[in-house]
Amino acid sequence: MTNFKNIIAKEISKIVNIQEKELETYIEVPKDSSNGDYAFPCFRLAKELKKAPPIIAEDIKEKLKIEGETIEKVEVVGGYLNFYINQKLLTKEVLTEISKKEEYGKSDIGKGKNIVIDYSAPNIAKPFHIGHLRSTVIGGALYNIYKYLGYNTIGINHLGDYGTQFGKLIEGYKLWGKEYNIEEDPINELTKIYIRINQLCKEDEKVLERCRMNFKLLEDGDPYCKEIWEKFRELSLKEFQRVYDLLGSKFDSWNGEAFYSDKMPEVIQILDKTGKLVESEGAKIIDLEDKGINTPCIIQKSNGSTTYATRDLAAILYRARNYDFDKALYVVSYEQTLHFKQVFEVAKLLGLDEKYTNGLKHVPFGMVSLSTGKMSTREGNIVKLEELLNEAISRAKSIIEEKNPDLEDKENVAKKVGVGAVIFNDLSNSRIKDEIFDWNQILNFQGETGPYIQYTYVRTKSVLEKAGYIPQIEEIKFDKLGDESSKNIINLIYNFENILEQVTQKEEPSILSRYLIDIAKSFSNFYNDNKILVEDKDTQNARVYLTYSVGKVLKIGAKLLGIDMPNKM
């Protein structure tokens, strides 16, 4: 499709002597469509040109030779240049593109680039709770969108399957394993052991020391510790898979922390050779004060066991060598910000090409807490994700029973609506915001929610069913879509690929979520303002095709977020 931003930037660059690629990044889409389709803020040029923005805008407008078939008019409003696109031309471009591409908005801008996304990463032998939901759905949405834009994307579930917690579980299992039915209900029973051993560790320092020693034995390959650990891991993964099946989550790699156990000696060896690895109270650390980080990065504990940092550094080395990544994203809560600052700084000492160390990026998100406070597995104060998803499905089914009891395939529709509501709730606001978990809010089926988008999609399907056909693009008279509500939809659909690019630029799926709400609202306005099935065949064809286009974009956009659309509700 025509890149109108590029056309505008190209013409302005001839006047202000700034490269068009840079100018293109300045161009905005006005919130109020009465201010044009695109706006160029002249404030950005004031310092360089030493003039007031409104004067700059008038000067540029005078010299611009852009008005014609593509750009209908240019207006100056304050310090802005507002550009109005030929609506008939835009409508033709958008609908023709929709007719040609099954996967509208898909592109190959990422061709030849490798993106590694590290997300979800629940801890083995612990409940998969709502705190893990955020990483799973944010990472999953980014994975889908990067892939849709042509990037070679590798999704990694970096399982928490190593560390002192396993030393604790092994100790608890040694003490009380026969009291618990781990085969029957692994996660719940292991959680009980974990809570119990933590309590004992608080009361008895010697027990805590034995737990630490168990992990050291596990690292050293002790057969008994390794056998128990493997059993915990296998049972946990079976439990986790049920949740992933409900969410539709898939990964290219399940290499967790334990995978790097034989790769950490190399990391320690490389760091040792730099002279930066020093001893402190028996532990080996990297001092980062000269990098503005006051807390040192611990590489090896005083008892010789490794840390999260060591394993993450081994993972960076492995991923650089095996995936040749351009960007490696870590979708992990903001509580780990210091950890990633330390690890990314130490990674510069591993002798890797700058391409890799520059491509490391922490994608932080806010925490999920209960209205009663922060969740903690140690205290047993959690909401299990599987229970939440099943409750959402159950509530969705109740609403369907009440509003449409004769609906076919109610179980499947309830699953799509319930799970979709949970996913959309998580992705609808900026990822950095903290969330207080509230059953009523997360399962609210009114307003700007996943079910609202699904309902709008179902409405488009209903219109097409009543029409009984989808017209061919050759039958469309584009000037029949000149009303304001039609124009708003066309402009939004045109912007779809740009929205997906913005998501990857900011690693922010909520940009797509908000966009889908805007599309749904715009269609609601169009539906209320225009009768779609009318006597005039040309008008009906145009409106039916626009309805079809809205449904197509809603379905693609929702799928990229990880949400399935029902055909009926």
Q: Which residues are catalytic?
A: 126, 129, 132
Token pair for residue 338? 């210091």
| Amino acid type, 478 | F
- Of the candidates 256, 251, 226, 227, the one whose C-alpha atom is nearest the C-alpha of residue 241 is 251
Non-local (6+) Cβ contacts of 380 within 8 A are: 191, 195
How many CA atoms lie within 13 Å of 170's alpha carbon, on the beta-carbon side? 30
Confirm if 106 and 148 have CB atoms less than 8 A apart.
Answer: yes
Non-local (6+) Cβ contacts of 100 within 8 A are: none
Distance in angstroms (rounded) separating the CA atoms of residues 459 and 523: 10
CA–CA distance from 255 to each of 156, 164, 426, 430 (Å)?
7, 19, 26, 29
Helices (H) and strands (E) in the chain, counts: 22, 12
Confirm if 106 and 87 have CB atoms less than 8 A apart.
Answer: no
Give the phi and the psi of residue 80 in degrees, each rounded to 5: -110, 145
Confirm if 305 and 215 have CB atoms less than 8 A apart.
Answer: yes
Distance in angstroms (rounded) separating the CA atoms of residues 213 and 217: 6
- Pairing verdict, β 38-41 and 80-85: antiparallel
To the nearest 10 degrees (0 to 180), the angle between helices 4-16 and 53-63 is 100
Q: DSSP letters along 398-456, please?
A: HHHHHH-TT-TTHHHHHHHHHHHHHHHHHHSS-TTS-EEE-HHHHT--SSSSHHHHHHH
Distance in angstroms (rounded) separating the CA atoms of residues 551 and 557: 10
Rg (CA), the chain: 28
Distance in angstroms (rounded) separating the CA atoms of residues 101 and 107: 11
**Cα torsion for 532, 534, 538, 543, to the nearest 10°?**
0
For residue 88, how many other CB atoms are within 10 A of its CB?
A: 15
Q: How far apart are the first and last CA of the chain?
A: 34
Token pair for residue 116? 């590694």
Token pair for residue 366? 């806010």
- Of the candidates 1, 95, 86, 37, the one whose C-alpha atom is nearest the C-alpha of residue 547 is 95
For residue 86, how many other CB atoms are within 10 A of its CB?
A: 17
